[in-house]
Structure 1
Amino acid sequence: MNFADALRRVEPAAEIIALGTVRGLDTTLIPARGYPLELIPPVPLSRKLNRALLQTPVRLRDSVRAAGAVLDHARAEIVVGFGGYVAMPAYLAARRRGLPVVVHEANAKPGVANRVAANMTTHVFTATRNVRLAHAAAIGIPLRRAISGLDRTVLRDTARRRFGLRPDGPVLLVTGGSQGAEAINGAVSGAAATLRANGVQVLHISGQGRAVEVPDGDPPYVVVPYVSEMQYAYAAADFAICRSGAMTCAELAAVGLPAAYVPLPMRGGEQRLNAVPVVNAGGALLVDDADLDPAWIETILIPVLTDSQCIAMMSARTLARTPDAGDVLTRHVLTLIAERRASAP
């Protein structure tokens, strides 16, 4: 939705419809941002030879029809896709109708939908130059203005008061994303006593529905299930421990917040690849999910958290101020629409 926000800033009258599925948080997050949501059947691609894989062609056909119906009803002029379950049906439906297709790949390792779509269109954009995708141009990842324009130093005191943290002393931000991460929750909460003994405050975003219990004490260890305005969490923190999804990596780089990345263990190692550039630059640590435990927090992370010079150095190496990718993508999309209208009979 960050791209949609950027488009609306330039063209307030633009009609934007989001395609989604009942999976994940589409039905919660998209309407909350003020955009109409149309649901189509998801088409997950099974990695095994089983009944689900054999049913894929039929499911894809039905999903393409559903996506096409949305495009026809909306009189769509262009499709902008970011990969995932809804992208492939939308790309195919658009192609059948002769609509321009714009592809953006946020991850270091492209997914199947975007790999296929990159051979359908020349309008392909990626987060970094290292992404191997046909016709790709690197522009970064569209971010919210509250993130891309954040000055952590200016907002720090306000942010810390917001969460009940002290104005001084290091703050560790803990998050596993909106769904939370059991491995991260358990490792950090298990090291709560040692973190406190070393003067480290904690802002722990546990994830909705995930319980993290830490006894009251000093300095503060604050547990919240969810934070809707992450700029305050970033401003309050000196360091983060988190997964390394593409959006998380992009946001932390934009605000200059160093991190210990714990890639989600999954096929292909996509999240590990997202974290590698900033780790190699010296702006982050990398720890395998299986190796993360309270002992790692105590022996590896705490010495970093309590070394202000080390944190400052890592912050300088992670900071990445680049042109707003949302604006770049918006200009390209509006140009394509203008060209299409000009060539219409």
Structure 2
Amino acid sequence: MTGPRVVVAGGHSAGHIEPMINFADALRELDPAAEVTALGTVRGLDTTLIPARGYPLELIPPVPLSRKLDRELLRTPGRLRAAVRAVGGVLDAVRAEAVVGFGGYVAAPAYLAARRRRLPIFVHEANALPGVANKMATRITKHVYTAAPNAWLPHATPIGIPLRPAITGLDRAAVRAAARERYGLRPDGPALMVTGGSQGARSINTAVSNAAEALRTAGIQVLHITGPENSIDPPQRDVTDPPYVVVGYVEEMHHAYAAADLVICRSGAMTCAELAAVGLPAAFVPLPLRGGEQRLNAEPVVAAGGALIIDDADLDAAWVESALIPVLSSPERIAAMSAHASAAGSPDAGKVLARHVLRAVGHSISKAD
């Protein structure tokens, strides 16, 4: 028996592409015969990230869906028709049995082309504030899934975000010593990880580096990931002082997660999902854009007791000293926050979504059970 033929759509940004490919990996794990084809455009990261993960990529015309009345919105109908035709050609060529969309430029034409062919349509929304394409899709399918309960979409089921096996299978305690050695940290003593995302965040970099002396005095070591375009000077220290390690970028974040006891970071949807999955407490500093989306992403873990939250405008060295150092200095509080974060996580989201798709297209899921 041949495997399911599934087309996935979630191009442009890593926030759409990463859960899409993680889902595809989970589908292949449950059914190694699965044939997965990804849709993408020449914009964004599609041509970089998708082929690198081993999936065929079919390019279609991009259709940005403007949120306001402007010239771009007026051009949308023509662009959308062309993109739907292009997607239809792909669906027919691969004899697709289902379309699974994750938002972004390619999702809307994928949903519409699938509807014309009466194919099952699955929608996954990672963010607390749903995008235009996924909002539209809820009118044509009942198979709607979200990262968290507060991401409101009609008839949606919260399942979490599909994550990489390197994250979902991470045993932080088991690899802690090796991870700390990797970055030049000591095997014992509290460790703070600092990151502003792939490009860094000046406000986080400044607040923590200005608190370096207080962190040193408290015996807290630091792994500070500044972002590739940013730099700070490591504070002067004696050999007896706890390390303050500064790096521009980390390729494999699971090693950094294993080395840390707490992370101060932005609260993108993927970051929140990964930290909860590995049980790493966080101090979230939401990016103050897009209607407070990042604050909404962080709220479920904060409400569960697995994280703190601080507005970007209020973040400074004094807050690091008054709020973070007491937490990092208390093993009992770190352990409790870790347990609460884990309880809020959904490490099996990829397989959960894959099982729903396999059932809908009538393929066996015996390997899932």
TM-score normalised per structure 2 = 0.84
2:348 to 311, 324, 332: 324
Mapping of 1:173-184 within 5 angstroms? 173-184=193-204
Given that residues 211 and 321 in structure 2 are in contact (C-alpha distance below 8 angstroms), is that contact kept between their aligned partners in structure 1?
Answer: yes
Amino acid at match of 2:144: V
How many residues matched? 339
* 1:250 alignment partner in structure 2: 273
- Point out where structure 2 has 5 or more consecutive residues left out of the alignment: 1-20, 364-369
Amino acid at match of 2:305: G
Amino acid at match of 2:147: A
Once the two structures are superposed, what CA deviation does each residue of 1:289-333 show, in whole Å capped at 9, x if it has no partner?
222223322332222222222222222221126571211111111
Amino acid at match of 1:176: G
1:43 to 63, 74, 78: 63
Mapping of 1:85-124 within 5 angstroms? 85-124=105-144
1:233 to 242, 256, 262: 256
* 1:129 alignment partner in structure 2: 149
Once the two structures are superposed, what CA deviation does each residue of 1:154-183 show, in whole Å capped at 9, x if it has no partner?
110011111111111111112222232232
Q: CA deviation at 1:12?
A: 1.8
Mapping of 1:1-345 within 5 angstroms? 1-215=21-235, 217=237, 218-320=241-343, 322=346, 324-338=348-362
* 2:17 alignment partner in structure 1: none
- Secondary structure in 2 aligned to 1:46? coil
- Change in 2 beyond 3 A, CA 1:331/1:188: same
- Change in 2 beyond 3 A, CA 1:98/1:166: same
Q: CA deviation at 1:216?
A: 5.5
Amino acid at match of 2:105: Y
Once the two structures are superposed, what CA deviation does each residue of 1:84-143 show, in whole Å capped at 9, x if it has no partner?
222112111221222211111222232221111111111111223333222222222222
Given that residues 148 and 300 in structure 2 are in contact (C-alpha distance below 8 angstroms), is that contact kept between their aligned partners in structure 1?
Answer: no
Distance 2:202 2:84 in 1: 36
Distance 1:209 1:67 in 2: 37
- Secondary structure in 1 aligned to 2:224? strand
| Root-mean-square deviation over aligned CA pairs | 2.2
TM-score normalised per structure 1 = 0.90
Distance 1:287 1:189 in 2: 17
Once the two structures are superposed, what CA deviation does each residue of 1:64-95 show, in whole Å capped at 9, x if it has no partner?
33333332333322111111222112111221
Distance 2:177 2:149 in 1: 36
- Change in 2 beyond 3 A, CA 1:237/1:142: same
Amino acid at match of 1:268: G
Q: CA deviation at 1:285?
A: 0.9
- Change in 2 beyond 3 A, CA 1:196/1:44: farther
- Secondary structure in 1 aligned to 2:145? strand
- Change in 2 beyond 3 A, CA 1:219/1:39: farther
- Change in 2 beyond 3 A, CA 1:223/1:67: farther
Distance 2:224 2:46 in 1: 24
- Point out where structure 1 has 5 or more consecutive residues left out of the alignment: 340-345
Distance 2:85 2:216 in 1: 56
- Secondary structure in 2 aligned to 1:203? strand
- Secondary structure in 1 aligned to 2:64? coil
Once the two structures are superposed, what CA deviation does each residue of 1:193-234 show, in whole Å capped at 9, x if it has no partner?
332232221222233333344346342222333333222111
Distance 2:313 2:65 in 1: 26
Give 4+ residue runs of structure 1 displaced > 6 Å after superposition.
none
Distance 1:137 1:47 in 2: 25
Distance 1:148 1:69 in 2: 36
Given that residues 128 and 293 in structure 2 are in contact (C-alpha distance below 8 angstroms), is that contact kept between their aligned partners in structure 1?
Answer: yes
Distance 2:110 2:244 in 1: 45
Bigger mean CA offset, 320-329 vs 89-98: 320-329
